[in-house]
Amino acid sequence: MSGRPRTTSFAEGNKPPANPQLGGMKISNALESSLKEEVKQSEPSAPYIGKDGSKVTTVVATPGAGPDRPQEIAYTDTKVIGNGSFGVVYQAKLCETNETVAIKKVLQDKRFKNRELQIMRRLEHCNIVKLKYFFYSSGDKKDEVYLNLVLEYIPETVYKVARHYSKSKQTIPISFIKLYMYQLFRSLAFIHSLGICHRDIKPQNLLLDPETGILKLCDFGSAKHLVKGEPNVSYICSRYYRAPELIFGAIDYTTKIDVWSAGCVLAELLLGQPIFPGDSGVDQLVEIIKVLGTPTRDQIREMNPNYTEFKFPQIKSHPWQKVFRARTPHEAMELVARLLEYTPSLRMTPLEACAHSFFKELREQGTRLPNGRELPPLFNFTDHELRIQPSLNSQLIPKYTQPSDGSQPAVAAADGANQASAAAQPGTQATSGTAESSDAQQSNPAGQANAAAQNADPSQSSMA
């Protein structure tokens, strides 16, 4: 979860569109009235003691996918496993199935719909954490309402795994890095094809099952359906993983900010430490310049046209082979270089990253996890995924998984293709949505970085 304060109201234009007949205020009142009714219906009943002596809570919850058909569910063994400015996360067990779940409880602004909920209800993918149910509950204060997201529970994160290796002065085995990053890129390809930008890609938000090797992207509390031509807040994404256009204060960015963040995650797993550390945007920009060199005027214009006149000290790029350890595979460094580009449009798409030669080993028949188990499903592409960038399908799907006649897996007919065609350009923005308020925009540190960067010697980079 991001460390910055966050509420579930839509600070970036979640407000319902004004209606000439109802008016914005009436729509807001209607939403509040509807939410009150939902809270009344789904309010948890008083806990009771089960046969085994455990405390059982019963609620009326709506399934995360499919029609809105509320049903009663009961859960027990509740305990807090995380908390922060976003709210609280509990671990619990569903009584009917004995399945362990995570319940994310966040304060709900009754005037607006919850963006995280709306987005998660659209996401059905093997590398994205599944929303099982949701329900509302009252808070301790009058009129306080909480949204509860019942999610599948996955025990570990890439962050915890990386920290474990770091403490023992080791880096994660390259085979694990390939497996984790491939699944991350596949999840990004899917959400980007829907016009959704995650905006908080970092190791802490990559859930991991260490037994199966399955990775799932989580925490869509910062995610947004991007709209071309409409502003977005620039102070988004956690430090160390913020794309340079965000540091420059851009408000018209694309899903390529997720690609940059993913590149930072890959570099961090290879290095054993963040590649662009810094406690502020200034520090991060200096670290980026020390590695990538000074951005050209054209690159700055691509990131944010308002900063083309800044004169940065001329620093040459640092060779990637000096940034990483000597034994780092060439393909890994090449992939990082294709992801960490100043110009957003030049960054690889997530699906292009999946097809990169760095992941060739995953496509070889007989490849297994270090524990001897088979790889998790990596090539079970849906028709929707196969329509994102069809030219890559032959590279993405191993020959041994293809039909014996050598033909490509069937792709659904044109009626489905129409749905994906406009949104299927990874790195571009969608076509509908709402504007963001400008009060959350970050003041740009580029000018301060100018002075700081003049003292930056690339040979002194912490990655060298």
121/170 same-domain check:
no
User: What is the distance between the alpha carbons of residues 161 and 168, in angstroms, rounded to a whole number?
Assistant: 11
User: What is the distance between the alpha carbons of residues 234 and 441, in angstroms, rounded to a whole number?
Assistant: 5
258/344 same-domain check:
yes
29/92 same-domain check:
yes
Does residue 431 lie within any of the structural domains?
Answer: yes
34/133 same-domain check:
yes
User: What is the distance between the alpha carbons of residues 285 and 213, in angstroms, rounded to a whole number?
Assistant: 34
207/135 same-domain check:
no
349/248 same-domain check:
yes
User: What is the distance between the alpha carbons of residues 208 and 429, in angstroms, rounded to a whole number?
Assistant: 29
Residue 179 DSSP label: H
CATH classification at residue 30: 3.30.200.20
**What is the length of the chain?**
464
CATH classification at residue 216: 1.10.510.10
Collapsing DSSP states into helix, strand and coil, what is residue 379?
coil
Tokens at 405, concatenated = 């006649």
Does residue 199 lie within any of the structural domains?
Answer: yes
Host domain of residue 299: 156-447
112/175 same-domain check:
no
439 is catalytic: no
Does residue 12 lie within any of the structural domains?
Answer: no
Does residue 217 lie within any of the structural domains?
Answer: yes
* Domain total in the chain: 2
Tens-digit pLDDT profile for the chain (464 aa)?
444 334 343 345 554 444 444 444 444 555 555 555 555 455 565 566 655 657 899 999 999 998 889 999 999 999 999 997 788 999 999 999 999 999 999 999 877 889 999 999 999 999 999 999 999 998 888 889 999 999 999 999 999 999 999 999 998 999 999 999 999 999 999 999 999 999 999 999 999 999 999 999 999 999 999 999 999 999 999 999 999 999 999 999 999 999 999 999 999 999 999 999 988 988 999 999 999 999 998 999 899 987 766 677 889 999 999 999 999 999 999 999 999 999 999 999 999 999 999 999 999 999 999 889 999 999 999 999 999 999 999 999 999 987 766 555 554 333 344 444 444 444 444 443 333 433 333 334 444 444 444 344 333 333 22
Residue 102 DSSP label: E
At 445 the pLDDT is 44
Does residue 235 lie within any of the structural domains?
Answer: yes
**From 109, 200, 219, 258, the catalytic residue:** 200
Residues 121-133 as b or e (16 or more Cβ within 10 Å = b): bebebbbbbbbbb
Contact (Cβ atoms closer than 8 angstroms) between residue 118 and residue 224:
no
Residue with tokens 């991001």, as numbered in its chain: 2
Annotated binding site: 105
- Dump the DSSP string for 130-160: -EEEEEEEE-SSTT-EEEEEEEE---EEHHH
The domain boundary residue, chosen from 152, 167, 185: 152
Does residue 3 lie within any of the structural domains?
Answer: no
User: What is the distance between the alpha carbons of residues 117 and 129, in angstroms, rounded to a whole number?
Assistant: 13
Tokens at 27, concatenated = 């729509």
Closest-CA residue to 184 (of 199, 210, 205): 205
Alpha-carbon separation of residue 183 from 75, 117, 142, 192, 238 (angstroms): 31, 23, 44, 14, 21
The domain boundary residue, chosen from 123, 152, 181: 152
User: What is the distance between the alpha carbons of residues 372 and 366, in angstroms, rounded to a whole number?
Assistant: 11
363/274 same-domain check:
yes
Tokens at 63, concatenated = 């399934």
Annotated binding site for ATP: 105
Does residue 234 lie within any of the structural domains?
Answer: yes
Residue with tokens 């905006």, as numbered in its chain: 199
User: What is the distance between the alpha carbons of residues 13 and 17, in angstroms, rounded to a whole number?
Assistant: 9
146/189 same-domain check:
no
**Enclosing H/E stretch for 437:** none
Amino acid identity of residue 49, one-letter, is I
Phi, psi at residue 257, to the nearest 5°? -65, -30
Beta-bridge mates of residue 459? none
133/161 same-domain check:
no
Contact (Cβ atoms closer than 8 angstroms) between residue 376 and residue 212:
yes
129/229 same-domain check:
no
Does residue 306 lie within any of the structural domains?
Answer: yes
Can you count the helices (H) and strands (E) in the chain?
15, 12
pTM of the model: 0.80
Collapsing DSSP states into helix, strand and coil, what is residue 75?
strand
Closest-CA residue to 38 (of 68, 64, 7, 75): 68
126/237 same-domain check:
no
Closest-CA residue to 81 (of 71, 92, 68): 92
User: What is the distance between the alpha carbons of residues 96 and 334, in angstroms, rounded to a whole number?
Assistant: 49
